[in-house]
Amino acid sequence: MSHETPVPDPTSAVRVVLRPIASPLPLGFLALTVATVAFASVQLSWVPQDQGHTVALGVLVLTVPLQLLAAVMGFLARDPVAATGMGILSGTWAAACLATLTSAPGTTSAGLGVILLLSAACLLVPAVAARHKAVPALVILTSATRFAVTGVAELDGGRTWMHAAGWVGIALAVLSGYAALALELEGSESRTVLPLGRTGASRKAVEGRMVDQLDHVATEPGVREQL
């Protein structure tokens, strides 16, 4: 009489270690606030056109690396929406800064306009994916609008579109500042203080039980065999 050796369940020997990290979104959104207001101040002629190089250098040093860091931390937090959105924002601001630094004050660039329009289209992907977090989704969508209007202004070369881009930039600053504050308070107090419009899985991620967070760990990138 043969005895078959039982095959052990592989999941019984698997341990997935999760390292809690702080949300990188407040950092990324505050860096976005600085960049959009700084460029809007030039577009709306609040500061002289010849200060555009100073603004571009400041955004390149401050906003670009902070949003790049937020993108990296977003991947480590297994949040592809935050990572993708912050990565596109970081790269787009870097392109705008370098184009400004290498151009004469007050001039426009059709090449930069094309880049901004393409970046705006790319931002629609994380904006749609973030639909269960209304406020962050609105920030990304407004960022896309800001880049699109600025792109048209760069292609058109007229002051009307440039002023419109500046005012969209100011609206974006208000939204991103609110989102940063709401997320910061949520992280520090472990509860919703200011509404972020969380629904579905996003709401469960904050208000649900720990076991709810582990249901799909085995199928997440970095755990499953293939991306």
CATH of the domain at 210: 1.25.40.600
Structural domains in the chain (count): 1
The whole-angstrom separation of Cα 44 and Cα 19 is 45
Containing 6, the helix (H) or strand (E) segment is none
Q: Dig out the tokens for 166 from the structure.
A: 């500046």
pLDDT tens across the length of the chain (227 residues) = 555 556 555 555 566 566 677 889 999 999 999 999 999 999 999 999 999 999 999 999 999 999 999 999 999 888 889 999 999 999 999 999 999 999 999 899 999 999 999 999 999 999 999 888 899 999 999 999 999 999 999 998 888 999 999 999 999 999 999 999 999 998 888 777 788 877 766 655 665 565 556 566 656 666 666 55
10 within a domain of the structure (yes/no): no
11: in domain? no
Asked whether residue 9 is assigned to any structural domain, the reply reads no
Round to whole Å and give the CA distance between 89 and 117: 13
DSSP label at 78? T
Place of tokens 């100011």: 170
Instruction: Quote the domain boundaries for residue 198.
Output: 21-219
Please tell me the pTM assigned to this model. Answer: 0.84
State the DSSP code for 217. G
6 torsion bin: left (phi>0), alpha (psi -120 to 50), beta (else): beta
At 133 the three-state DSSP class reads strand
Amino acid letter, 31? A
Q: Is residue 51 a part of any domain in this protein? A: yes
Does some domain include residue 202?
A: yes
In the chain, % helix, strand, coil (3-state, to 5) comes to 70, 0, 30
